[in-house]
């Protein structure tokens, strides 16, 4: 380090000390406040009832009492809110104290007398007088300079227009425990040392925030505010998920008065992914958005009577299936049911249902049919045809509820009710007694107590026994939805455009599965879509922004469906068509490639630079796919990927040795990636007595550091220090190219592949120099 550099370092450390000192002062002030608020809360809770006037003597007093309770409750919740805010603020200050900032820019704004020093951290922090920013939030308008420019002319956008000027210095810091551990001036040093440092580290079981090193092209995505629909096509490891999460943090800051974390939803590829990304936002001082897999969402919309298949079981079938006629039919079915043609067919079907063809279920009580399916059918079709199906269903519901109430009244005098009264619990009698006392409170009428009590008990029995039936009607369970969906495949659609040649077989197979109460994954979305057309759409208006990660796994049909579900939502879709493993296996359309999404409100970004893997791994993986030559690796050196030939009998032993070697080298997450779940299980069984290993299955929600065995399709979106591919000879079909690419791109530092048979033909285009063959 030169003298100048060392003097700069000292000066910067002095500033860090000064800022930390200010933070300490603020912390002690807030802690005092928090203590006061917390004792207020305790006190209010303790004396809650002393401070309200409770008087129920007459209606006016009762109203006054209610108002008094409400006032006291509001006071309590205001104090609790303040306490939560203070707590949140204190946590952010603790993070700032540990690492106050990661960047500095000196910006000379046009027309000003001198340059401003702007220090960037995860949150803003002002001096004691609240006059100057000691730290700027990385999301503040001026902070975008740091991400968008090198020293030289620069500008940034504010609500009042562009601010232009000259950036004189751009400095990056690594500060840990209030101490500067690293400091680089960009423009002086060559290459991005900070990024080298970050990317060279070991993989963690949880993703990290990237605010200190966001790249310019990622920043465009993070800060985009114009588009209603933002599409990001980014190569494996280009930071799509990272950009998505920092974008959530950005939006929460930018629209902090109107947008809360519960208004944002992320559709993620698998349950484990949720825990993988769970710490990024809290690290940035924000709460996590809502998160679900698309299948979780569908499951919550599907009736419990069905076993709905998920995308992973479908994938297992595709990977394991014998390529016979049944397989061809299934693949053709998956492809067609992913398309907008099928959506159109359903729309056509629904409009025919408006006139005839809806199916209903009998509503029975104690073994007797109260309302037959035909009766309900006739009532439905007697209603005005100009009303939508869903509006008419509402009317049917109201009619049934009214009729049911009539039935309840009729049943009151039946002998079964009296019999059931005998079986009531003691608590029920007590409740009836209490109710009766309440009723008699303002009268002296007690001579018909017994009769009244019997009446109340009968009501209780009837309410209890009829409740399931009322609930069925309220939830529209009188509609035979599966019958209706099934019936779709029994109609003559030959005149309709776009039907696949295998349509006849597809219909037979679909009906067979539905009769067994199974919903194949490819039918789940169309089924719920049709259900919505019949019952009325349950769109979600609270969600204002949707993020779809791994968007290439969504079909055009699913995408159209999501758009209908969240009509007031902006959307950010992130994906990579080279990792479209589901559609890759079937040749189906994917939303990323096949949907013609254009228009003023749609913006597309392409990311070609990849950060995850070493240059050597990227040189190998980019040879696996068409157009891979455009992928730009970040220049981080490592070993070449290796393919080692072996036999089925030796492979487990070799894997074991390799794992030990990687552990000794300091790698912390090592994944043995197998093709299928069954293969993963076998490998896990073979290894578990030798080393501690985890088996990842589709329901796994989190994983630990160490060695894990995982099926190919569950490794999506996640990364590991070292990837050992169980048997790369098994990836041989053209339809598995994308899967092969996806698993290899999970590796950050090491990629080692075993081959127990022929070297995969999918390696044809990979240069022999890009890997070592043993």
Tell whether 236 is in a known binding site.
yes
Instruction: Report the residue from 576, 721, 727, 750 that binds ligand ATP according to the rule CB under 6 A.
Output: 576
166-174, 210-218, 469-477, 483-491 -> range binding ligand ATP (CB under 6 A): 210-218
Instruction: Give the residue from 38, 188, 186, 24 showing the smallest Cα distance to 100.
Output: 24
> Measured from the CB of residue 751, what is the shortest distance to ligand ATP in angstroms?
14
Instruction: Report the residue from 142, 214, 643, 707 that binds ligand ATP according to the rule CB under 6 A.
Output: 214
Q: How far apart are the first and last CA of the chain?
A: 44
Cβ-based nearer residue to ligand ATP, 339 or 742: 742
Residue 96: partners with Cβ closer than 8 Å, 6 or more residues away: 23, 121, 122, 123, 125, 135
Cβ-based nearer residue to ligand ATP, 295 or 618: 618
165 lies in the site for ligand ATP, by CB under 6 A:
no
Q: How is 27-65 classified by DSSP, letter by letter?
A: HHHHHHHHHHHHHHHHHHHHHTTTSS----SSHHHHHHH
86-94, 129-137, 194-202, 311-319 -> range binding ligand ATP (CB under 6 A): 194-202
Instruction: Report the residue from 237, 623, 628, 641 that binds ligand ATP according to the rule CB under 6 A.
Output: 237
CB 404 within 8 A of CB 469: yes
> Measured from the CB of residue 423, what is the shortest distance to ligand ATP in angstroms?
59
229-237, 302-310, 346-354, 534-542 -> range binding ligand ATP (CB under 6 A): 229-237
> Measured from the CB of residue 714, what is the shortest distance to ligand ATP in angstroms?
13
Q: Which of residues 521-560 bind ligand ATP (CB under 6 A)?
A: none
> Measured from the CB of residue 178, what is the shortest distance to ligand ATP in angstroms?
23
Tell whether 240 is in a known binding site.
yes
> Measured from the CB of residue 235, what is the shortest distance to ligand ATP in angstroms?
7
What tokens does 173 get? 């810091």
192-200, 671-679, 730-738, 749-757 -> range binding ligand ATP (CB under 6 A): 192-200
Helix (H, G, I), strand (E, B) or coil at 492: coil
> Taking CB positions, which residue lies at the least distance from ligand ATP?
239
Q: Which of residues 700-759 bind ligand ATP (CB under 6 A)?
A: 717, 719, 745
Q: How far apart are CA 669 and CA 720, in angstroms?
A: 5
> Measured from the CB of residue 274, what is the shortest distance to ligand ATP in angstroms?
14
What tokens does 654 get? 């070799």
Tell whether 352 is in a known binding site.
no
Tell whether 36 is in a known binding site.
no
Tell whether 311 is in a known binding site.
no
Q: Which of residues 238-267 bind ligand ATP (CB under 6 A)?
A: 238-242
130-138, 191-199, 317-325, 485-493 -> range binding ligand ATP (CB under 6 A): 191-199
Residue 416: partners with Cβ closer than 8 Å, 6 or more residues away: 366
> Measured from the CB of residue 271, what is the shortest distance to ligand ATP in angstroms?
16
E strand residue ranges, 284-391: 290-293, 307-308, 363-365, 368-371
Tell whether 407 is in a known binding site.
no
231-239, 327-335, 721-729, 749-757 -> range binding ligand ATP (CB under 6 A): 231-239
> Measured from the CB of residue 688, what is the shortest distance to ligand ATP in angstroms?
28
The 10 Å CB-count burial string (b at 16+, else e) for 650-688 is: ebbeebbebbeebeeeebbbbbbbbbbbebbeebbebbe
Tell whether 699 is in a known binding site.
no
Q: How far apart are CA 404 and CA 371, in angstroms?
A: 9
- How many amino acids of this chain bind ligand ATP (CB under 6 A)? 24
Instruction: Report the residue from 143, 178, 213, 578 that binds ligand ATP according to the rule CB under 6 A.
Output: 213
C-alpha to C-alpha distances, 736 to 269, 322, 760, nearest whole angstrom: 19, 15, 11
Residue 534: partners with Cβ closer than 8 Å, 6 or more residues away: 350, 353, 358, 389, 390, 393, 479, 481, 484
Cβ-based nearer residue to ligand ATP, 178 or 578: 578
DSSP 8-state class, residue 418? H
Cβ-based nearer residue to ligand ATP, 237 or 584: 237
198 lies in the site for ligand ATP, by CB under 6 A:
yes
CB 762 within 8 A of CB 732: yes
Tell whether 589 is in a known binding site.
no
Cα 282–chain centre separation: 16
Helix (H, G, I), strand (E, B) or coil at 772: strand
Instruction: Report the residue from 100, 234, 285, 520 that binds ligand ATP according to the rule CB under 6 A.
Output: 234
Residue 444: partners with Cβ closer than 8 Å, 6 or more residues away: none
270 lies in the site for ligand ATP, by CB under 6 A:
no
E strand residue ranges, 28-160: 103-109, 116-121, 125-126, 133-137, 152-158
Cβ-based nearer residue to ligand ATP, 570 or 749: 749
E strand residue ranges, 394-544: 518-519
218 lies in the site for ligand ATP, by CB under 6 A:
yes
Instruction: Give the residue from 625, 80, 643, 584 showing the smallest Cα distance to 338.
Output: 584
What tokens does 742 get? 């996806």
612 lies in the site for ligand ATP, by CB under 6 A:
yes
Cβ-based nearer residue to ligand ATP, 525 or 610: 610
49-57, 232-240, 318-326, 729-737 -> range binding ligand ATP (CB under 6 A): 232-240
Cβ-based nearer residue to ligand ATP, 219 or 569: 219
What tokens does 714 get? 């569950």
Q: Are strands 706-711 and 307-308 parallel, antiparallel or unpaired?
A: unpaired
What tokens does 748 get? 């950050």
> Measured from the CB of residue 199, what is the shortest distance to ligand ATP in angstroms?
6
Q: How far apart are CA 280 and CA 287, in angstroms?
A: 9
195 lies in the site for ligand ATP, by CB under 6 A:
yes
119-127, 207-215, 484-492, 657-665 -> range binding ligand ATP (CB under 6 A): 207-215
Specify the length of the chain in residues.
774
- Residues annotated in a binding site for ATP: 234-241
Query: Which residues form the interface with ligand ATP (CB under 6 A)?
Result: 195, 198-199, 208, 210, 213-215, 218, 234, 236-242, 576, 579, 611-612, 717, 719, 745
- Residues annotated in a binding site: 234-241
């Amino acid at each position: 380090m030169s003298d100048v550099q060392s003097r700069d370092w000292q000066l910067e450390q002095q500033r860090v000390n000064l800022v930390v000192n200010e933070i300490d002062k603020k912390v002690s002030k807030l802690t005092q406040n928090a203590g006061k608020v917390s004792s207020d809360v305790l006190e209010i809770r303790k004396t809650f009832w002393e401070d309200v006037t409770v008087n129920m003597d007459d209606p006016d007093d009762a109203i006054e009492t209610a108002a008094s309770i409400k006032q006291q409750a509001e006071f309590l919740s205001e104090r609790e809110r303040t306490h939560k805010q203070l707590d949140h603020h204190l946590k952010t200050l603790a993070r700032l104290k540990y690492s106050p900032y990661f960047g500095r820019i000196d910006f000379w704004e046009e027309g000003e007398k001198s340059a401003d020093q702007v220090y960037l951290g995860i949150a803003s922090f002002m001096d004691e007088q609240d006059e100057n920013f000691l730290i700027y939030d990385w999301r503040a308008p001026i902070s975008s300079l740091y991400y968008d420019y090198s020293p030289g002319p620069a500008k940034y956008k504010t609500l009042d227009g562009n601010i232009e000027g000259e950036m004189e210095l751009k400095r990056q810091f690594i500060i840990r425990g209030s101490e500067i551990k690293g400091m680089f001036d960009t423009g002086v040093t060559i290459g991005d040392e900070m990024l080298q440092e970050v990317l060279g580290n070991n993989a963690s079981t949880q993703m990290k925030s990237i605010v200190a090193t966001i790249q310019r092209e990622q920043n465009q995505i993070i800060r985009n505010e114009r588009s209603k629909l933002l599409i990001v096509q980014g190569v494996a490891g280009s930071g799509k998920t990272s950009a998505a999460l920092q974008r959530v943090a950005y939006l929460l800051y930018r629209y902090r008065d109107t947008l809360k974390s519960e208004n944002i939803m992320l559709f993620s590829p698998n349950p484990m992914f949720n825990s993988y990304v769970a710490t990024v936002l809290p690290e940035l001082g924000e709460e996590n958005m809502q998160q679900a897999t698309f299948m979780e969402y569908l499951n919550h919309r599907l009736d419990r009577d069905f076993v709905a298949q998920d995308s992973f079981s479908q994938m297992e079938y595709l990977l394991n299936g014998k390529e016979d006629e049944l397989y061809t039919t299934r693949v053709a079915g998956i492809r067609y049911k992913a398309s907008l043609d099928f959506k159109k067919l359903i729309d056509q079907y629904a409009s025919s249902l408006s006139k005839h063809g809806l199916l209903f279920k009998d509503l029975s009580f104690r073994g007797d049919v109260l309302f037959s399916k035909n009766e309900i059918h006739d009532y439905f079709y007697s209603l005005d045809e100009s009303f939508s199906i869903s509006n008419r269903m509402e009317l049917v519901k109201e009619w049934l509820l009214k009729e049911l109430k009539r039935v309840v009244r009729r049943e009151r005098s039946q002998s079964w009710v009296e019999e059931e009264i005998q079986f009531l619990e003691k608590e029920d009698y007590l409740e009836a007694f209490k109710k009766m006392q309440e009723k008699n409170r303002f009268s002296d009428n007690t001579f018909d107590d017994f009769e009244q009590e019997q009446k109340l008990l009968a009501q209780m029995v009837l309410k209890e026994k009829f409740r399931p039936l009322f609930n069925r009607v309220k939830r529209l369970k009188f509609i035979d939805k599966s019958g209706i969906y099934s019936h779709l495949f029994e109609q003559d659609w030959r005149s309709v455009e776009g039907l696949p040649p295998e349509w006849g077989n597809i219909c037979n197979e679909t009906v067979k599965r539905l009769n067994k109460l199974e919903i194949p994954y490819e039918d789940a979305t169309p089924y719920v879509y049709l259900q919505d057309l019949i019952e009325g759409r349950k769109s979600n208006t609270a969600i204002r922004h949707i993020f779809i990660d791994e968007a290439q796994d969504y079909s055009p049909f699913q995408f159209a469906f999501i758009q209908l579900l969240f009509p007031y939502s902006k959307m950010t879709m992130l994906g990579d068509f080279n990792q479209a493993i589901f559609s890759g296996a079937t040749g189906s359309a994917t939303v990323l490639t096949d949907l013609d999404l254009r228009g003023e409100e749609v913006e597309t970004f392409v990311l070609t630079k990849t950060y995850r893997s070493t240059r050597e791994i990227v040189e190998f993986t980019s040879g696996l796919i068409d157009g891979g030559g455009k992928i730009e690796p970040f220049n981080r050196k490592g070993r070449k990927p290796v393919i080692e030939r072996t036999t089925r009998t030796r492979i487990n032993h070799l894997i074991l040795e390799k794992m030990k070697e990687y552990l000794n080298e300091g790698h912390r997450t090592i994944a043995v990636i197998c093709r299928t779940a069954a293969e993963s299980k076998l490998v896990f069984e073979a290894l578990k007595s030798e080393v501690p290993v985890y088996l990842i299955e589709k329901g796994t929600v989190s994983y630990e550091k160490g060695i894990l065995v995982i099926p190919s399709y569950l490794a999506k979106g996640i990364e590991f220090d070292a990837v050992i591919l169980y048997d790369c000879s098994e990836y041989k079909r053209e339809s598995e190219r994308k899967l092969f690419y996806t698993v290899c791109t999970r590796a950050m530092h090491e990629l080692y592949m075993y081959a127990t048979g022929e070297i995969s033909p999918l390696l044809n285009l990979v240069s022999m120099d890009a890997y070592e063959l043993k």
